[in-house]
Amino acid sequence: MHISDHFDAGNIEVIDAGDPAAVRLAIRADSNADFFQWFHFRATGVGGVDCAFRFENAGEASYTKGWEGYQAVASYDREDWFRVPTEYSAGVLTIRHTPERDSVYYAYFEPYSGERGRDFLAHCLAAPQVRHTVLGQTVDGADLDLLTIGAPGDGKRVCWTIGRQHPGESQASWWMEGFLGRLIDPADPVARAVLDRALVHAVPHMNPDGARRGNLRANAAGANLNREWAEPTMEKSPEVFLTRARMRETGVDFCLDVHGDEGLPYVFIAGSDGIPSLTERQTKLRAVYDAALLRASPDYQTEKGYPKAPPGKGNLTMCTAYVAEHFGALAMTLEMPFKDNANAPDPKVGWSAGRCRHLGGACLDALHAVIDDLRD
């Protein structure tokens, strides 16, 4: 048996791989930070072998409740991913699997490679209504890409969506394919109606450095980008600094920040509850958006989610709270599970890339429902 993580988003440390029935592993911490939960590795020479991969530091991971009821994903070809038996006990996460082929990949969720992201960017740019701007460079020197969809015009709403502030939450990149793919479809009547009324700005990947390095939450400097919005710096969090600066130039009427949640087996939205300036208009818009997304996607629900922040106690270091407070926008954080969706389980694949894409498409219907009322 040979185990490797020397590829895009790879993360594993091998303690002892001498016995396939008791492979001892550890998850590597994020760059310059203590976060860890994301893993992604390849095992070779395992066809027909009963394997048990034991993550011995799982009990020290960032979100141990994320292991409860969790099943890892595996793939032979990096295209079709499926869930494999996984258990968590006494601080150890164990994957038990008898691969059908000699080489198999395992991951925390379906990985989304930088190469696929560049291919999708090129696909979007083939559409005539899409413009591309490089906002600047990340800590590692990667380009921070901004897509602007639609034609400028007086009175048009300004909508933003960003993904992958937390690099291990690859759900956001799959969601972007669904949302942007539908938005640029000239035959889609909802997309045309949105673009008649709005200009849409999208940063598909806020944290390419962290994703490439196999991080869970941090960028290359060790910063949790979704705690940098109050006072970002070019040294520690240029990704937020540059995005926030462009938002100040364009203004913001709507912002959706797309994430994955380790613990809760649901699709849900966290709003801007608790910001000092929360208005009745923002609250009503959120209710309209929720109702529209419930109609558009059976995967969405509003019963389970994070506790609401008390009035005046919103965390303004986070994107959603900062944008809602600073711009008076309808700003929300969309969360998707690493586990299966408990309301609509799929034992074979669980929550998956395909379901992320469909949810992205459904979110365009919800945006359409609020687009006319985003300004007084």
Looking up residue 76, the CATH number of its domain turns out to be 2.60.40.3120
The total domain count for the chain is: 2
Q: Are residues 72 and 134 in the same domain?
A: no
Cβ burial, residue 227 (10 Å; 0-12/13-18/19+): middle
Q: Are residues 33 and 176 in the same domain?
A: no
Q: Are residues 231 and 355 in the same domain?
A: yes
| Last residue within a domain, chosen from 71, 92, 107 | 107
| Last residue within a domain, chosen from 52, 81, 107 | 107
Query: Alpha helix (H) ranges present in 131-170?
Result: none
Q: Are residues 92 and 61 in the same domain?
A: yes
Q: Are residues 197 and 241 in the same domain?
A: yes
| Residue 63: domain span | 2-107
pLDDT along the chain (376 residues), means of 10: 98 98 98 98 98 98 98 98 98 98 98 98 98 98 98 96 98 98 98 98 98 98 98 98 98 98 98 95 98 98 96 96 98 98 98 98 98 93
Q: Are residues 280 and 358 in the same domain?
A: yes
Structure tokens at 52: 């048990």
Q: What is the structure's pLDDT at 204?
A: 98
The predicted model scores a pTM of 0.98
Q: What is the structure's pLDDT at 365?
A: 98
Q: Are residues 87 and 181 in the same domain?
A: no
User: Catalytic residues, which ones?
Assistant: 335
Q: Are residues 68 and 196 in the same domain?
A: no
Q: Are residues 162 and 241 in the same domain?
A: yes
Q: How many residues are there in the chain?
A: 376
Q: Which residues of 172-194 are buried (b: 16+ CB within 10 A; e: fewer)?
A: bbbbbbbbbbbbbeeebebbeeb
Q: Are residues 217 and 249 in the same domain?
A: yes
Q: Are residues 101 and 238 in the same domain?
A: no
3-class SS letters over 253-308: CEEEEEEEECCCCCEEEECCCCCCCCCHHHHHHHHHHHHHHHHHCCCECCCCCCCC
Structure tokens at 102: 């000699």
Q: What is the structure's pLDDT at 316?
A: 97
| Last residue within a domain, chosen from 107, 139, 163 | 107
Structure tokens at 297: 């996607």
CB 199 within 8 A of CB 251: no
Q: What is the structure's pLDDT at 376?
A: 79
β-partners of residue 95 are 53, 86
Q: Are residues 145 and 221 in the same domain?
A: yes
**Measured distance CA(256)–CA(271) in Å, rounded:** 10
Q: What is the structure's pLDDT at 312?
A: 93
Q: What type of residue is 250? A: T
Q: What is the structure's pLDDT at 55?
A: 98
Q: What is the structure's pLDDT at 22?
A: 98
Q: What is the structure's pLDDT at 313?
A: 93
